[in-house]
Structure 1
Amino acid sequence: MAPRGFHKEEMEKIREKLIEVARRKFGAFGLKKTSIKDLTDECGIAQGSFYKFFDSKEHLYFAILELDEIEIKAELMKEFNGISKMNAAQFAKIIIHAFQLVEKYPVIQRMYFLDEYEALVRKLPAELIENHITSDASVFAPLFQQWREEKVIDSTLSPGVITAALRMLFILTAHKREIGENIFDESLQLLIESLASRMFKEG
């Protein structure tokens, strides 16, 4: 049931507008420098009405991240499914492409590349983060199972461990400056290729 003051259709339109405006403002200014008032003013609703749609601006930020990640995962799955027999080199190439895809998504870029990850995680319920992590593993689980059946992947590695390793690589991008911007991309490629070599059997 729609909250008092808004019809169901209005709720859907306002929610879409909030996501549209927030995606633009979060991408340009970041989480900390974007206020709820910034969002509601442009959407033409009262500041208090925001909470009829999202519990906090962090929840809205996270909702956008999940929407953007769905698009990226769909693109990756399309690439993975387009290869008849996966190997380390092909896997590494697709994962490197995933980092390039992120450039099309400013909110994800800010979270991983501009160190907003910690600020976001601190404000969100642990259960929400845990559910997100679980869903990451479940998306790729069928692929890992297929590769196991094809005997091209190390069967001792669980989907959860592989997904966690990939997530760690993305989190590392938040520390690009500390690691060294001039060597980061090459170092990241080395880590991705090392992971791929560990996952896939030769021959």
Structure 2
Amino acid sequence: MEGSIIARKFNDEEKIYLRQKLVTEGKKQFGQLGLKKTSVALLTEAVGIAQGSFYLFYESKEELYFTILEMEEAELRQQLLHSVNLEEKLTKEALKTFLKKGIALIENNPFFQQLYTENVLEIVMRKLPTSRLEQHFQQDSDVFFPIILSWQKNNDLIDHAPDVILSVFRSLIILSFQKK
């Protein structure tokens, strides 16, 4: 553990409060400085805890970053899902609009911009346990498979494996960051 000050014990209420403060401060610092320039020392100083105490909450700053990224993604997902009306027929134009909206939401989010333009994805993936990444990808599947299956059921979308279709959607999003 980093830091020379010994981490103290916190009660459950303090843990909840400090975890939220770390998320809030992390969102601010990572959003302004990025993952590489944001240090554990900067985060803990802003929250008012010893550096060693940080590791009671997160194994690394990359884990905190990923936690925030998942929160941002959940919010974007909700915005995107509100634009889907499964009662209406999926047209080419509606699918195009859906994908464009998803790409626009991601492109306008500093965390997703950093993920793909500053090689943050590679750094985060190296630091996180495989199980955490698998759980994250499963959440995407849990959200989007029902939509894909509904479109397929209504014969609005090609009858192909939903994971393949979701992978194509992901690829389009990643490609959008390679414009330059």
The normalised TM-score by structure 1 is 0.79
Pairing partner for 1:159 from 134, 138, 162? 162
Aligned-pair CA distance for 1:49? 0.5
Any conservation in 2 of the 1:111–1:174 contact (CA below 8 Å)?
Answer: no
In structure 2, how many angstroms separate the alpha carbons of the residues matched to 1:175 and 1:116?
Answer: 15
Pairing partner for 1:172 from 161, 175, 179? 175
Aligned-pair CA distance for 1:4? 6.3
Structure 2 equivalent of residue 128 of structure 1: 132
Structure 2 equivalent of residue 22 of structure 1: 26
Any conservation in 2 of the 1:113–1:173 contact (CA below 8 Å)?
Answer: no
Aligned-pair CA distance for 1:83? 6.0
Aligned-pair CA distance for 1:78? 0.9
Aligned-pair CA distance for 1:12? 1.1
In structure 2, how many angstroms separate the alpha carbons of the residues matched to 1:174 and 1:91?
Answer: 20
Aligned-pair CA distance for 1:35? 0.8
Structure 2 equivalent of residue 79 of structure 1: 83
In structure 2, how many angstroms separate the alpha carbons of the residues matched to 1:150 and 1:82?
Answer: 9
Any conservation in 2 of the 1:115–1:174 contact (CA below 8 Å)?
Answer: no
Any conservation in 2 of the 1:112–1:174 contact (CA below 8 Å)?
Answer: yes
Give the match's secondary structure for 1:54: coil
Structure 1 equivalent of residue 3 of structure 2: none
Structure 1 equivalent of residue 109 of structure 2: 105
Question: Where does structure 2 lack aligned partners over 5 or more consecutive residues?
Answer: 1-6
Pairing partner for 2:41 from 19, 37, 41? 37
- Further displaced range: 53-62 or 110-119: 110-119
Query: Paired residues, what number?
Result: 174
Structure 1 equivalent of residue 52 of structure 2: 48
Aligned-pair CA distance for 1:164? 1.4
Aligned-pair CA distance for 1:174? 4.7
Aligned-pair CA distance for 1:82? 6.7
| Residue 99 of structure 2 corresponds to residue 95 of structure 1 | yes
Letter in 2 for 1:124: L
Any conservation in 1 of the 2:86–2:150 contact (CA below 8 Å)?
Answer: no
Letter in 2 for 1:113: T
Give the match's secondary structure for 2:37: coil
Identity of aligned residues (%): 37
In structure 2, how many angstroms separate the alpha carbons of the residues matched to 1:4 and 1:46?
Answer: 8
